[in-house]
Structure 1
Amino acid sequence: MSHDQRPEPSAAHPRTMERRGFLKKAAAGLTGAALVTHGCGSSSPNANGEGPSIKTSPKVMWRLASSYPRSLDTIYGAADVLAKRLSELTSGRFTVRPYPAGELVPAMEVMDAVQQGTVQLAHSASYYFKGKNPALAFDCTIPFGLTARQQNAWLSHAGGLELMREVFSDFNIINFPAGNTGIQMGGWFRREIQSVADINGLKMRIPGLGGEVMSRMGATVQVLAGGDIFPALERGAIDATEWVGPYDDEKLGFYKVAKYYYYPGWWEPGPNLSFLVNKDAWAKLPSEYQHAFEVAAAEANGAMLGKYDALNPPALERLLQQGVQLRPFAQDIVALARQTAFDLMEELSGADASYRKVFEPWKAFRDQSYRWFATAEASFTAWAAKEAQPG
């Protein structure tokens, strides 16, 4: 619970032009930036007649509630990237203070806190909150859905962000992409899972739509915050857990109590994290602060995936040296999981018009995108991976 190499936005997009304009102003010290004074009905022009300098604009401090512990520096780190860059872009006048899970708000309650205005901002995975609206899962990831690059493309250039903002608007929230882990591992199991029959009765920590799929396949599903998983696995309250991948999983110590490490995480092919912003707080910001936030969020979004891609390979090697047994999911498990996932989505689409409004264009994008990726990406990756094998 990034990002991929984010495609350069089209120069024709108005928001892109605004961001580029903002960056030019930032490079020049933002001295000529036009700002609307927070809480005032008018503003005094600066020497250039444009509006007040950012140095005379109001000081704003927001609190960010994260769903992640500080020890998971890559996934939690997106909040730090946002805070650092936002402060730099606004000469320290718009600041964000991140708080790890549980310090202000429990990990699974950060969306409520933003909606109610307890905090102005959260960093989380939207599928944690699918109980509020199942369509929220599309903002994060769907089983057998989009990879990190595809998810980024759908959100940024194929109308996904606009669709998701309609959903979030019902909760007085505006969402911004805030990192991606890339495809995740299938998780840690105390015993081997060799067929669908081994899923029956399995107690597993797994959130999102993937949890519903596993439940329909016979598992007993729980949703636990990152810091609560190891104790539950150690004492046998759960038999298995998924998290992210080798780097985080090593930090959380799962290999000490569960030796079977499965792949791939078919339920999380490209999970997008989000900054969730209270809409009332957002509306009160001067426009230049809004632009600064967008720029800082985009940087945080782009940084996560690269860091995971650099840290996961050596972490996997270290785990294997600890006696971890790497296992692929059996084909009957994957086949049933895929069928179950799409049956479930079709059911939700048939029962809920708001869900269908997101699902239908998402599915059309997914199908088209995978035809292209299968043509070039998948064939090259298969060839390159084979060539990289020793011997």
Structure 2
Amino acid sequence: MKRRQFLTSAAIGGAATALATPALAQSATEMNIVSTWPRDFPGLGTSAQRLAARIEALTEGRIAVNYFAAGERVGAFDSFDEVASGNSQAYIGADYYWKGKHAGWSPFTAIPMGLTYTEIDAWMKFGGGQELYERLGDEFGLIGFPAGNTGVQMGGWFNKEIESPDDFRGLKIRMPGLGGDVMAKMGASPVSLPGGQIYENLVSGAIDATEWVGPWNDFFLKLYEAAQYYYWPGFHEPGSQLCLGMNKSWWSGLSAIDQEIIKVCCAEENAVSMAEANANNGVYLDRLINEYGVELREFNDDIYEALGEASAEVNEEARDHSPLAAEIMDSHLAARATIGAWTNLSDAPFVAKRNRILDL
């Protein structure tokens, strides 16, 4: 009896060793991630670093991740070409930066007067967004997944008050994506700058105004030192979705389990980053106003209507780029109509009435 137990145990142990040995012998798969964000920057930068670390941890080192912040391996706006070429395996950033390559990229970050965080998340998961995203990625040898969101952004920082649509005329403003095209229609001169270059350009007067994200992220760029007026609400990025974009050839070589782990890590970070932004924005808005004297201003109805008209024109022009761009934009706007109709009866009126009753 003891002999049979010994032989059985030995056989099981030998089989386990035989299965384990090849796995142990395999070298780790390298994943170089380039980012559009500065290193250790609260919110955007720390979210990207957290995602990179999570992928390596959950794959138990089968994927060895090397993370490079903006400028450490390539410039922020060179991330797309770096990954599409296969020089690096992935980027973390905002896909509207690539609208010059294809207009279809913008709706996967944000379009003017587009989808909020909960709406774009619903579109991506249940409204056909992810499928369209992958079709667009195929044209560039890429595949990606939502991996962060900053929610409704502020309207921006201005060195003068904006009291009418005409006040945009002649302004040099940092605003990327289709929002920048709206600014051009308003008579402003939009420029696209990576986050690490905004402060110096605003301080020097190279630009007159800028948008970035929201109070938490804006606080750490010290934009309050360079502009007095902080406008709300933003029209250009109502739910700015961020992404982990990967070289598809590299992705296809991963095991099914490691592909699934990356998907799960992205989904987790997508939710965590939005929760983190919501937890911090109110705190830092209070600090900006009460500690640093920032003057909060609301875009009036005339301004917002003008922005809405210009947004409709810009979105239509993006739609005209190509059949795929039209399909993506049509899908995005259809989600705005259907999911947005529910938002209009649920979140929006509840928050407005709750805050009025509680005087918040």
Q: TM above 0.5, one fold?
A: yes
- Kindly provide the amino acid, as one letter, of the partner of residue 197 in structure 1: D
Unaligned segments of structure 2, at least 5 residues: 1-13
Matched, 1:324 2:324: no
Question: Aligned with 1:348: secondary structure?
Answer: helix
- Distance across 2 between alignment mates of 1:365 and 1:52: 50
- Kindly provide the amino acid, as one letter, of the partner of residue 147 in structure 2: A
8 Å Cα contact 1:183-1:270 kept in structure 2 = yes
Query: Which residue, 235, 246, 250 being the options, matches 1:266?
Result: 235
Q: Greater shift after overlay, 224-233 or 82-91?
A: 82-91
- Distance across 1 between alignment mates of 2:83 and 2:331: 28
Tell me the equivalent position of 1:256: 225
Alignment of 1:1-391 (within 5 A): 47=16, 55=24, 57-321=26-290, 322-350=292-320, 352-389=322-359
Q: Kindly report the root-mean-square deviation, in angstroms, between the aligned alpha carbons of the 2 structures.
A: 1.9
State the shift of 1:294 in Å: 1.3
Q: Greater shift after overlay, 76-85 or 250-259?
A: 76-85
Q: Greater shift after overlay, 47-56 or 164-173?
A: 47-56
Question: Aligned with 2:43: secondary structure?
Answer: helix
8 Å Cα contact 2:32-2:90 kept in structure 1 = yes
TM-score by length of 1: 0.85
- Distance across 2 between alignment mates of 1:290 and 1:49: 25
8 Å Cα contact 2:111-2:237 kept in structure 1 = yes
- Kindly provide the amino acid, as one letter, of the partner of residue 245 in structure 2: L
State the shift of 1:387 in Å: 2.8
Structure number with bigger Rg: 2
| Cα deviations by residue, 1:300-343 (Å, 9 ceiling, x for unpaired) | 22210011111111101110021100001121121111111112
- Distance across 2 between alignment mates of 1:60 and 1:302: 27
| Cα deviations by residue, 1:331-381 (Å, 9 ceiling, x for unpaired) | 112111111111222233345212111111221111011111111211101
Pair 1:126–1:50, CA change in 2 (3 A): same
Question: Aligned with 1:73: secondary structure?
Answer: coil
- Distance across 2 between alignment mates of 1:109 and 1:88: 27
TM-score by length of 2: 0.92
- Distance across 2 between alignment mates of 1:197 and 1:370: 30
Tell me the equivalent position of 1:8: none
Pair 1:283–1:51, CA change in 2 (3 A): farther
Q: Percent identity?
A: 38
Unaligned segments of structure 1, at least 5 residues: 1-44
More helix by share: 2
State the shift of 1:85 in Å: 2.1
- Distance across 2 between alignment mates of 1:125 and 1:348: 17
